[in-house]
Amino acid sequence: MANSLQLPTMPTLAERVQWARKQKGWRQEDLADAVGTSRAQIQKIENGTITRPRNMEALADALDVSKIWLAYGDPRLEQMTPEAAELAIAWQHLPEDAKEAARLFIETAAKRIQGK
pLDDT given at position 2: 44
Which three-class secondary structure string do you get for 16-82? HHHHHHHHCCCCHHHHHHHHCCCHHHHHHHHCCCCCCCCCHHHHHHHHCCCHHHHHHCCHHHHHCCH
CB crowding 101-114: b at 16 or more within 10 Å, else e? eeeeeeeeeeeeee
**Domain edges within the chain:** 1-76, 80-116
What is the pLDDT at residue 85?
Answer: 77
How many angstroms separate the CA atoms of 73 and 112, rounded? 34
What global pTM score does this model have? 0.70
pLDDT for the residue numbered 72: 85
Give residue-wise pLDDT tens across range 6-20: 889 999 999 999 999
Of 16, 23, 71, give the one whose Cα is nearest residue 46: 16
d(CA 50, CA 52): 6
Is 50 exceeded by the pLDDT of residue 1?
no
Q: CA-CA distance, 101 to 109, in Å (whole number)?
A: 12
CATH topology of domain 1-76: 434 Repressor (Amino-terminal Domain) (1.10.260)
